[in-house]
Structure 1
Amino acid sequence: MRLRSESSLLLVVDLQAGLLPVIDGGAQAVAAAAWLGGIAGEVGVPVWLTEQYPQGLGGSDPGLLEALPEHRLWQKVHFNAHAEADFSGALAASGRRQVVLCGSEAHICVLQTGLGLLEAGYEVYWLSEAAVSRRATEASLARERMMRAGAIPVSADMVAYEWLDRCDDERFRQVHKRFLKPRAAHPLRFF
């Protein structure tokens, strides 16, 4: 089951400003999601963000929003985003069957969304460095449970290079120049 850009969607769950200060690895998750989201934009992969109770938890992280100008935003009341009728209908209509999943909290909304997607027949790819919780042990338990349920653990680099597929075209050269070389030094700087 190899990721293909024409079949994929990046789903970033609840990386919200009011929640991130208490999340273990929150800044790393935002950086990884923003970096991969930038590549997604270059290769035609839709980027969707969700927000749970933004009145209390704040909206999505401003740096993430700035890095992902071409995203679709979904507000939800269910912990499982796929339980929202508008969301699940739009996902089915998109024709995208591979969902790269990340966000917070890994053991609540990310886990329940992932399980809902698996139950609906989607391939779920758990973006390990960007699926985080207040406590690292809970993020680890969520990852383990998702793997047992059928999700596939991936890193941002794995996803990026599978989406790119080859190194001998202009698309790879442009993405490499803008995203792949400067990643270690400036994870949120794309331009």
Structure 2
Amino acid sequence: MLDRENTGLIVVDVQGKLARLVHDSDVLIANTVKLVKGAQALGLPIVLVEQNPERLGSTVDELQALLTGNPAIPKFTFDACKAPAFLEAIKHANVTTWLICGIEAHICVYQTAQHLHQLGCTVELVQDCVSSRAPENTCLAISKLSSKGIGITGLEMCLYELVEDCRADGFKTVLGLVK
């Protein structure tokens, strides 16, 4: 079970034109917005990364508006763990469980999740908050990550696990997001 005291969120490369080209991009962006809002309501640390932002553009406006206090960490390797600033942000967050979402599922999300797992973190892929240009690549990423010990969760499932109790702070916000 996820524990809100020990869980953070990583948002990978939901940026530029690519964010609009992935399969079901409107659903991906809307779900990721809900996930970020839920994470914020529950007080989770959030780490935002962008792949080569000068070439691919910045995080989409819908997310950027929510993440003004979370400056994007630029990266050039597909695996965010190879960017020292990312590793520092992960360490500074002081949690060992990470929800991960973003694009492309089979490239940057996959490689980052794998590396975090190898570093000893518990990682859960939020399957309805990841996508790739081709849906079969998203399925491949989910299948391969699952076979390698990465947890698979969904937007609603992870938020309810984290809130845990209908009397808890953040419950009404979570309920409003998933209704």
For residue 94 of structure 1, report the CA deviation from its aligned partner. Answer: 2.2
Q: Which residue of 1 aligns with 2:103?
A: 104
Residue 58 (str. 1) matches residue 57 (str. 2): yes
- Local SS of the residue matching 1:166: coil
> 1:38–1:68: 8 Å Cα contact kept in structure 2?
no
Q: Deviations over 1:15-74 (max 9, x none)?
A: 002212211022211111111111111111011111001111110000111133443421
> What is the number of equivalent residue pairs in this alignment?
179
Q: Which residue of 2 aligns with 1:181?
A: 176
Q: Which residue of 2 aligns with 1:90?
A: 89
The 5-angstrom pairing of residues 1-191 of structure 1 reads 2-169=1-168, 171-172=169-170, 175-176=171-172, 178-181=173-176, 183-184=178-179
In the alignment, residue 137 of structure 2 is paired with which amino acid?
E
CA distance in 2: counterparts of 1:84 and 1:150, whole angstroms: 23
CA distance in 2: counterparts of 1:154 and 1:3, whole angstroms: 10
- Local SS of the residue matching 1:67: coil
CA distance in 1: counterparts of 2:145 and 2:57, whole angstroms: 27
> 1:18–1:56: 8 Å Cα contact kept in structure 2?
no
> 1:41–1:70: 8 Å Cα contact kept in structure 2?
no
> 1:18–1:59: 8 Å Cα contact kept in structure 2?
no
Q: Which residue of 2 aligns with 1:187?
A: none
Consecutive unaligned residues in structure 1, runs of 5 or more: 185-191
For residue 10 of structure 1, report the CA deviation from its aligned partner. Answer: 0.6
TM-score, normalised on structure 1?
Answer: 0.88
CA distance in 2: counterparts of 1:158 and 1:20, whole angstroms: 24
For residue 90 of structure 1, report the CA deviation from its aligned partner. Answer: 2.6
- Local SS of the residue matching 1:146: helix
- Local SS of the residue matching 1:44: coil
Question: Runs in 1 of length 4+ with deviation above 6 angstroms?
Answer: none
